[in-house]
Amino acid sequence: MEYFVTSIKEITSRRRAVYVDYEHVFALYAGELRKFGIKEQSYISEDVYDEIMTVLSKRAVIRGMNLLKNKDYTRAEFIKKLKDGYYPDKAVDAALEYIDRYGYIDDDRYARNYVAFKAPVKSRRIIEQKLKEKGVSADIIACVCDEYYSDNGECELNQVVSLIEKRTSKTDISRMDYNERQKLMAYLYRRGFNFDIINKAIDKVCDNCM
């Protein structure tokens, strides 16, 4: 089997993206293009292609380890980061196989750390939304959040009370008219808190003012 190079595009002054059959496949340094004899409108033999994949797989493992030295990633974030770096699927799979062997990525652990860090300042709804955006599965999000909030039952209530007190520091909340209270509730709802928590927090603040 041979692979037809339809185009080669510059990524940086040193790296080039190689397209096979009009689809991006991999990126190489300019010197590697010369080494492997890769040119536009030419064919890559299967042996050369396999050699390139071996080189890129090793490179993806090194790149992956360097990424994880600087910060923690979810599995989905890690995959996206490598693909954004023009690593082909085969190289990404090799990197994943390596890090899985040593447990360097664990979405459950990531979610637990994230919730513990963000829960004092963010609502559960916002935290769940952010974890979903990071590619954590719904099952892990639900399990981790249920466990955390069952052990920290008044976490959100205390947050909302604090927000209300700051928002109404120059106002007597018990004397707010209907429209003022609705604006306050809308502000808190936009921060990710449900109306049950909001109402309990307003009642608590009102009781403290008496």
Q: Give Cα separations from 36 to 47, 111, 173 (angstroms).
A: 11, 43, 73
User: In the chain, what are the domain boundaries?
Assistant: 2-102, 107-151, 156-209
Tell me what the mean pLDDT of segment 147-175 comes to. Answer: 87
Checking if the pLDDT of 207 tops 80, the result is no
CATH number of 2-102: 1.10.10
- The residues facing 123 across adjacent strands are none
Least confident of 16-30, 163-177, 186-200: 163-177
* pLDDT single digits (tens) 41-79: 999 999 999 999 999 999 999 999 999 998 999 999 999
Instruction: Please give the model's pTM, rounded to 2 decimal places.
Output: 0.84
Share of the chain above pLDDT 70, in %: 99
